[in-house]
Structures are given as C-alpha cells and as structure tokens.
Amino acid sequence: MIGIFPGLLNGAVITLQLLVASMFFGLIIGLIFAILRINKNPIINNFAYGYSYFFRGTPLLVQLYLIYYGLANIELLRNSFFWVIIKEPYWCAIIAFSLNTGAYTSEILRSAFQTIKKGYIEAAQSLGVTKKITFYRIQLPIAIKQSLPAYGNEIILMLKGTSLASVITIMDLMGEARKVNVLTFKPFEAFITAGIIYLFITFIIHNIIKYLEKKYGFQT
C-alpha cells in the first residue's frame, strides 16, 4: 500500500507541470480572444466566437486526439520544425489543454469585461485618460478581479482535465494509478489513493483562490 506512494507522487508532479503550463498559455490565449470578442468588427468577433464555441462544444478527449494523432497526418507539419514539438505527447497535451482552457477563460474574461460599469469608462474619458491607459489601468484590473471565482473553478476543471493526458501515454498521476492497477490488480488501492491526491490538490487550489478573492476581491 505504502509502496505505491512514490510512483503516484512522481505522477502528481507531472500533473502539476501540465496544469501550470496549460493554465499559463491558456490565460494568454484567453486574454487575446476575450479582447477579440469585445471587438466591434463582426469578422474578428465571429472568429473568436467560433473558436470558443468549438472548444467548449467538443469533449477535451476529441481535441487531444485531434492534436496528438490528427496533426501528425499533415505532411506539411511533419516536415516542418513543428514536428519536434508535435511528436512529443507531453507537448501535444499542453497544446490541447491550453487551447481548451483558453476558450473557457476567454468567455470568463469577456463576461467580466462586459459587466464593468459604463460609468468607470465614462469617468476616465471625461478626465482625459487615453483609451489605452483606460484599458490597461482600469478595465483589465477590474475584469481580472471580477473573474477570480469563475477562474478558480476553471483551474479545478483543468486539473481534472489533465488526467486525460494518461490516455496518450503520459505518466501523470492518472497514468501512474493505471500502472499500479495493472501491476497489482488492486484497482481500489490505486484509484482511491490517486483520488485522495487529486482531492488534496483541489483543496489547495480552492483555498488559494479563496485567499486571493478575500485579498483582491472586488465589490461593486
């Protein structure tokens, strides 16, 4: 029972790496697409909407398979230098997770941008603050603060999503648990222990977000 712990903890480290990397890239993607979504040009706007619709409307597993198995099918990509990245399951997982969480993050940020009171922007305008500074110093900080609770949920959803990496041969926490199950034929020990580790990580993330909300939370 205790013997399975080191392996699972190694897996947990991989899980956390995947989570941090995809949350980081996902946040950048989400921010870009949220800004595109509030753009008034219908083509840009619809492009961003299409992106988020696709990634929120299909299962993460489909996206992962499309990138891991599907992209390798394109001759052009196989001969380019991208192949170095795409041939590694680890990077495929990060790309799929980042694009997926990016779509959800863009929706969270968009709704946060749209619920900012018009009065703030009007006040900034009447004070002669330029559009750029209004965006960076007023709209963006308020949007980030407002979207904290929803973003916390998204981090936890993504933590659960990283378990899919085990399907494309990555030895994350889930992969290690599967290995233990195959080697020992003890599904309950393997999966329940892994479940407890997942719950523990969820619990920590939940509390960090709660703390941030308390510290930087925004009351309107």
Residues that bind other proteins (CB under 8 A): 53-54, 57-63, 65-66, 69-74, 156, 159-164, 166-167, 174, 177-178, 181, 185, 187-188, 191-192, 194-195, 198-199, 202-203
Q: Which is nearer to other proteins, 141 or 187 (CB)?
A: 187
In whole angstroms, the minimum distance from the beta carbon of 77 to other proteins comes to 10
Q: Which is nearer to other proteins, 74 or 123 (CB)?
A: 74
> To the nearest whole angstrom, how small is the minimum distance from the Cβ of residue 197 to other proteins?
9
Least Å distance, CB 165 to other proteins, is: 10
Q: Which residue has the tokens 């330029």?
A: 130
Is 138 buried (19+), middle (13-18) or exposed (0-12) by CB count in 10 A? middle
Give the shortest CB-67-to-other proteins separation in angstroms.
9
Q: Which is nearer to other proteins, 142 or 197 (CB)?
A: 197
Smallest separation (angstroms) from other proteins to the CB of 189: 10
Nearest CB to other proteins, comparing residues 23 and 35: 23
